[in-house]
Structure 1
């Protein structure tokens, strides 16, 4: 299983869960895991262990072959990629009002994987809960003004500022400006 497939697993779990009208809590209870873990997997914030993945797939009443069918076809070995603005795919990470993620690129590179997205944050929008990821995070603020908190440190970023940190540290973000903030986000797994 390549890292690219691992990045697609969360999307597939969410899609199958939503197709079957199963809530996060219902799936978590049936699979014997926490609702938070299911959310982290669906949002590519963590990769499930094989036993957890098997339990989730079984809890979705899917067989392994059917679950993974078509994932390999989503991957290619091109030498370069051009991603047009109108080809960006909306990613449903967490239900935070005023946040809109758009995936730019997701690919395995030399046994590592990365995910690149644009995050639009409406004025006043904020993540209330601290979150963590199983990735090193790189951020570049394209426009706007945001407040970022990593652990207990809070700081303001303005357009052109960058940020890099280990996503295992709790963090959150808030748009403190008067315009929609646009943040380029890269996760290195």
Structure 2
């Protein structure tokens, strides 16, 4: 399954859950999975197995055919051009001051890769650390960002980048007085 499809599916799961007024805990109880797993799936931090996915869709009371009806698979062209107005905004953990825009998702060597632009409002940070089942590459386009990975802190400015195993707990902090802009690449693990 192409990564574009996986990301569409995770967004649809979140949208259906919210539209039905179901909390993450309620869905976890219905599907007999952990609340953390659902959060990771909805926030594109892990890829569910097929059985878990089907169980989640059924637990939402949604027909499988209806759920997958408008899921689109992107073409596998050798040259792809994306215009900035085509970057799709999306939400990861509800973090104030974080604006994600998806540039592109692709399978590279059969591994899902997600490329996004992240804007961090001045002083934006998370109150908690996150983990992602991926390697992450972050390039600071503008602004100043402090990245906490595990128990280490890394000060980054425009032109700097960081690459790390995102299974380590991590979070960014915009240390500047202006919006920080970063190019982010997630290289998901199997």
TM-score (norm 1): 0.93
Number of positions where the alignment pairs a residue of Structure 1 with one of Structure 2: 188
The answer to whether structure 1 residue 41 and structure 2 residue 41 are counterparts is yes
Deviation at 1:153, TM superposition (A): 0.5
Q: Deviations over 1:27-75 (max 9, x none)?
A: 122112222211110111001123322221111112333222232x332
Check conservation: 1:3, 1:111, Cα contact below 8 A.
Answer: no
Aligned to 2:66: 66
Aligned-pair Cα RMSD in Å: 1.4
Q: Deviations over 1:134-180 (max 9, x none)?
A: 11101100011011011101111001001111111111111111110
Higher mean alpha-carbon deviation, 90-99 vs 77-86, is at 77-86
Deviation at 1:9, TM superposition (A): 2.0
Q: Measure, in 2, the Cα distance between the counterparts of 1:150 and 1:39.
A: 20
Question: Structure 2, unaligned stretches of length 5 or more?
Answer: none
Deviation at 1:80, TM superposition (A): 1.4
Aligned to 1:145: 144
Check conservation: 1:46, 1:134, Cα contact below 8 A.
Answer: yes
Higher mean alpha-carbon deviation, 168-177 vs 53-62, is at 53-62
Instruction: Describe the SS at the equivalent of 1:82.
Output: coil
Q: Measure, in 2, the Cα distance between the counterparts of 1:55 and 1:101.
A: 28
Instruction: Describe the SS at the equivalent of 2:129.
Output: coil
Please give the residue correspondences for 1:28-177 in structure 2 after superposition, counting only pairs within 5 Å.
28-71=28-71, 73-177=72-176
Q: Measure, in 2, the Cα distance between the counterparts of 1:77 and 1:48.
A: 23
Please give the residue correspondences for 1:11-22 in structure 2 after superposition, counting only pairs within 5 Å.
11-22=11-22
Check conservation: 1:114, 1:188, Cα contact below 8 A.
Answer: yes
Instruction: Describe the SS at the equivalent of 1:172.
Output: strand
Q: Deviations over 1:107-151 (max 9, x none)?
A: 112311110001111111111111110111011000110110111
